[in-house]
Amino acid sequence: MPSVGVTSRFGINPFSFGAFVIAVLIYSDVFHLSTAHAIVGTIPGTALGALGVRWVIRKEQRKSFAWTAFGLNVGPTFVGFVVLLAYLVGIRPEQGQGWF
C-alpha cells in the first residue's frame, strides 16, 4: 500500500507553492513595491496558481491550498485588469492624480 505524503494530501504542488511564495513576497512588502508594481507582480502568481489548481483537479487531490494560492494572486490581478480596461475605454484620472 503506497503511503500518501503531506504534499499530495493537501494539494501542494510546485505551481501552487510558487504562486503562494509570490503572494507572500508581494503582501509582506519585502521589496517595497508600489501598488501598480504589486499588481503587475501578481500576474505570474495568477498563472502559476491556475496551473496548480488544474494539477490538483487532474490528480484528484484536496484543493484548498491550490485555491488559496490562486486566490491571493488573482484579486490584485483582477483589479489591475479592471483599471486597464477603464483606461483603454477612456476613463482616466485627472492631470496630476494617479489611480493608486
Cell of 92: 482616466
33 has pLDDT over 80: yes
The ranges assigned to domains in the chain are 6-89
Residues 42 and 25: beta-carbon distance below 8 Å: no
37-53 residue pLDDT tens: 999 999 999 999 999 99
- 59-97 burial by CB neighbour count: b if 16+ within 10 A, else e? eebebebbbbbbebbbebbeebeebeeeeeeeeeeeeee
Alpha-carbon span 82 to 88, nearest angstrom: 10
Q: What angle do CA 35, 41, 42 make, to 5 degrees?
A: 95
48-99 residue pLDDT tens: 999 999 999 998 888 899 999 999 999 999 999 998 898 888 887 777 676 6
5 has pLDDT over 60: no
- The pTM is what? 0.79
Alpha-carbon span 89 to 84, nearest angstrom: 9
